[in-house]
Amino acid sequence: MLDVRELRKSFTGPEGARVEVVRIPQFALAAGEERALRGESGCGKTTFLNLVAGILAADSGIISIDGTDMAALPEPARDRLRAAKLGYIFQTFNLLQGYTVIENVVLGMSFSPGGADFRRARELLGRVGLGHRLEHFPRQLSTGQQQRVAVARALANRPALVLADEPTGNLDRRNSRESLALIREACRENGAALLLVSHDEEVLREFGRVQDFASLNVAAAEGAP
């Protein structure tokens, strides 16, 4: 369902030189598959996920989701497809501070074909244990609870693929374990593929099979920058 070919992304470094951060010849993920990628900080994991999510534009290469090459689509269609197919759990959660818990989840639905669905938002928030916090604002929640809102939001559109960027990086050990279990279970229940990146061995240990990001990303393997 996710197919990446010859993906490249470079940034301009402090001295003005271009530094290649991502160069991935090939990467594929099957429908419903769960994949954990291990990589040291700075090796390009977030950049890769942002490219897949369309938050960053690639220099070149193909990212195809369910057979559609994202870069070949005009922007409005790309945004719609992305909203319909992808859920993203950010390392820092990226919740909208001016909106309540339930609004944060519903806003994630606004691009989806079904539109805002408060019933589904309530249901999802109930499942992540926040049924009693619907009208709270993010700042009124613990870090673990904020993370749960982010999980519910990522699943709001019934995505085919969930991206998780160091999803437990800001949590203590207990919350980290619970949250990871929740993400995996929610993806399984929803039939969503899960692509998780982390540098945390404790997190990675939970997965049967872990792939080294450096084995995918030739740019990182070459020791750039």
Residue 128 CA: distances (Å) to CA of 76, 77, 121: 31, 31, 11
Q: Which helix (H) or strand (E) holds 187?
A: helix 173-190
44 binds, among Mg ion, ligand ADP, none (CB under 5 to 8 A by kind): ligand ADP
> Which residue number, 147 or 217, has a Cβ lying nearer to ligand ADP?
217
Binders of Mg ion in range 36-55 (CB under 5 A): 45-46
CB-count burial class (<10 Å; 0-12, 13-18, 19+) for 75: exposed
> Which residue number, 11 or 99, has a Cβ lying nearer to ligand ADP?
11
Token pair in block for residue 17:
């030189």
Residue 107 CA: distances (Å) to CA of 131, 132, 147, 187: 17, 19, 16, 20
> Which residue number, 39 or 61, has a Cβ lying nearer to ligand ADP?
39
Q: Is 176 in the site for Mg ion (CB under 5 A)?
A: no
Interface contacts to ligand ADP, rule CB under 6 A: 11, 21, 39, 41-47, 225
43 binds, among Mg ion, ligand ADP, none (CB under 5 to 8 A by kind): ligand ADP
Q: Which helix (H) or strand (E) holds 165?
A: strand 161-165
> Which residue number, 35 or 45, has a Cβ lying nearer to ligand ADP?
45
Contact positions vs Mg ion (CB under 5 A): 45-46
